[in-house]
Amino acid sequence: MQLEKPKLFPEKKSFVLVMLFFLLVIVIRLFFTYQSYQEFISKPFYYTEAEVLNSYQKSKGKREYQVLKLRSKDGLIFYTTHYVTEDFRDKRLRLQIFPNEKITFGDYLGTFYVKSKIKEQESIAPTFKDELLEKVMMQHQDPLMQSFYNAIFFATPLVKELREKINMLGVSHLVALSGFHLGILWGLVYGLFLFLYRPLHQRFFPYRHALFDVGAVAMVSLGLYVWFVDFPPSLVRSYAMVLVGWIVLLLGMELLSFTFLTTIVLMLLTLFPSLMVSLGFWLSVAGVFYIFLLLQYSRGVKLWIISLIIIPVGIFVLMLPVVHAIFPVTSGYQLLSPLLSLLFVPFYPLVMVLHLFGFGDLFDFFLSVLFNLPQISTESLLPMWALVVYAGLSIGAIWSKRVFWLVLSFALFYALYIFSL
């Protein structure tokens, strides 16, 4: 008889107390952040320095203007507009911004628009990341391929045309760096270091714990990668789960539990309150939640069936109501999403290696054909009240298998409805 692993929290009381502690700290942090927000919007103008994260052209009538996405030295991320066509890439700007009460507290926590005047600008010396971005771009003639690969490697923004095609294919989760990518990288990095470590371990220090030594190297490597790509919210959540999960495994405790997920979420909100308004973060949390739910109710099923069928198909179906409450774009080609998710697992490390050796364009033709498949789409937006009901039932499914089947049935009927329009 196999002994059951000890739980992360031995009793409900300890779990509730820890969660209340996190909530208290979150409230305190939000209070002080709100004071900063009030001070920010009360000023008639404000001087700051900011780096340009992204820029693109738009037009209004016959007049063209440029939209800039910037990150200030204070950590604020905001949009502003500029009516002179100029290349602001690799520039640091000194701005006079004009905040007002139209900027809500939620906007302040996340991303907001503010009017500004550019006072000065200076060029920023190319960084190592810029050099890597350029090397990737040089291996592709198609701008869409350049945008795609830099997005999946370095979390850079997609060009508008490609973003629309990705949405119609229903594979945004494969392009926006998230736990899916980090899981692949963890397996790759851990496996590589374990292969190198095992002969040394057996010969010189067999008393060492390989999970600790190799895991520590892997965690540092992944941490550096998350820092290198500027901490995308979904990747931060994923890294925290991998880090705490590794520690929990070392302690021999239960890993795949909803208490573990709740702890990670509240811990991250305590450290980074801005994640409260991050759509990518909450979609990532929802994805992990439904993975845990599927694993809970597929115990005893063969591992290959869970990995190749239940998880990819189940996540696609269960996430449809969540995604379509926010993004209405619907295309029949989105039904390819589970298959494309499976193919992405070997594709991702393979194209990394190909780019290292200068053969990054090997799959460009096939990718261009794939991206050009969806030409027509419809729109189907799930009402917010329906999403609230669906989310409530999903939480209830943690304790009831009948409720789980009800949630799954709703998601399946909704899938039939939107794809038959």
Tokens of 82: 């500029």
Q: Which amino acid is at 129?
A: K
Name the domain boundary from 109, 125, 141: 125
- 55 and 187 assigned to the same domain: no
Q: What is the CA radius of gyration of the chain?
A: 23
Distance CA 189, CA 18 (A): 33
Helical (H) or strand (E) element with 340:
helix 337-356
- 231 and 335 assigned to the same domain: yes
Distance CA 226, CA 382 (A): 33
In a domain, 155, yes or no: no
In a domain, 280, yes or no: yes
In a domain, 8, yes or no: no
Task: Give the total number of structural domains in the chain.
Answer: 2
Name the domain boundary from 125, 142, 159: 125
CA distances from 98 to 33, 47, 112 (A): 19, 9, 12
- 398 and 280 assigned to the same domain: yes
pLDDT digits (tens, 9 = 90+) for 189-209: 999 999 988 888 788 878 788
- 404 and 287 assigned to the same domain: yes
Query: pLDDT per position in the chain (421 positions), as tens?
Result: 444 567 777 788 888 999 999 999 999 999 999 999 999 999 899 899 998 888 888 877 777 888 888 888 888 889 998 877 777 777 888 999 999 889 999 999 989 999 999 888 888 888 888 899 999 999 999 999 999 999 999 988 888 889 888 988 988 888 988 888 988 999 899 999 999 888 887 888 787 888 888 999 999 999 999 999 988 877 887 888 888 888 877 877 766 688 888 988 999 899 889 889 988 889 989 999 999 999 999 988 998 899 899 999 999 999 999 999 999 989 989 999 999 999 999 999 999 999 999 999 999 999 999 998 877 888 889 999 999 999 999 999 999 999 999 999 999 999 999 998 6
- 171 and 296 assigned to the same domain: yes
In a domain, 409, yes or no: yes
- 251 and 112 assigned to the same domain: no
Name the domain boundary from 98, 125, 152: 125
- 183 and 115 assigned to the same domain: no
- The domain that contains 104 carries what CATH number? 2.40.50
- 114 and 180 assigned to the same domain: no
Distance CA 341, CA 338 (A): 5
- 120 and 173 assigned to the same domain: no
- 182 and 273 assigned to the same domain: yes
In a domain, 96, yes or no: yes
- The residue range of the domain holding 111 is 45-125
In a domain, 180, yes or no: yes
Distance CA 384, CA 388 (A): 6
Tokens of 81: 């507009």
Beta carbons within 8 Å of 312's beta carbon, 6+ residues apart: 338, 339, 341, 342
In a domain, 162, yes or no: no
- 120 and 264 assigned to the same domain: no
- 102 and 177 assigned to the same domain: no
In a domain, 399, yes or no: yes
